[in-house]
Chains A and B, each alone.
Chain A
Amino acid sequence: QQQVKQSPQSLIVQKGGISIINCAYENTAFDYFPWYQQFPGKGPALLIAIRPDVSEKKEGRFTISFNKSAKQFSLHIMDSQPGDSATYFCAARGAGGTSYGKLTFGQGTILTVHP
Chain B
Amino acid sequence: DGGITQSPKYLFRKEGQNVTLSCEQNLNHDAMYWYRQDPGQGLRLIYYSQIVNDFQKGDIAEGYSVSREKKESFPLTVTSAQKNPTAFYLCASSIWSRTGKSGYTFGSGTRLTVV
Contact = CB atoms under 8 A, between A and B. Distances in A.
Interface residues of A, number: 23
Interface in B1-46: 4, 6, 31, 33, 35, 40-43, 45
B103 A43 contact: no
Contacts, number: 59
Contact of B108 (A9, A42, A107): A42
B48 interface: yes
Range, interface on chain B: 20 to 34
B42 A6 contact: yes
B96 A101 contact: yes
Contacts of B4: 43
Given A101-B96, A107-B42, A44 B106 contact: yes
Q: Describe B's contact surface by its main secondary structure.
A: strand
Contact of A101 (B50, B59, B101, B111): B50
A85 B42 CA distance: 17
A49 interface: yes
A49 B95 CA distance: 14
Contact of B102 (A49, A89, A106): A49
Given A34-B103, A101-B31, A43 B96 contact: no
Given A42-B109, A102-B45, A107 B40 contact: yes
B93 to A, nearest CB: 11
Given A43-B92, A107-B42, A108-B42, 16 more contacts: A32-B103, A34-B102, A34-B104, A36-B106, A41-B108, A41-B109, A42-B108, A43-B90, A44-B104, A49-B103, A89-B43, A98-B56, A101-B50, A103-B94, A105-B35, A106-B42
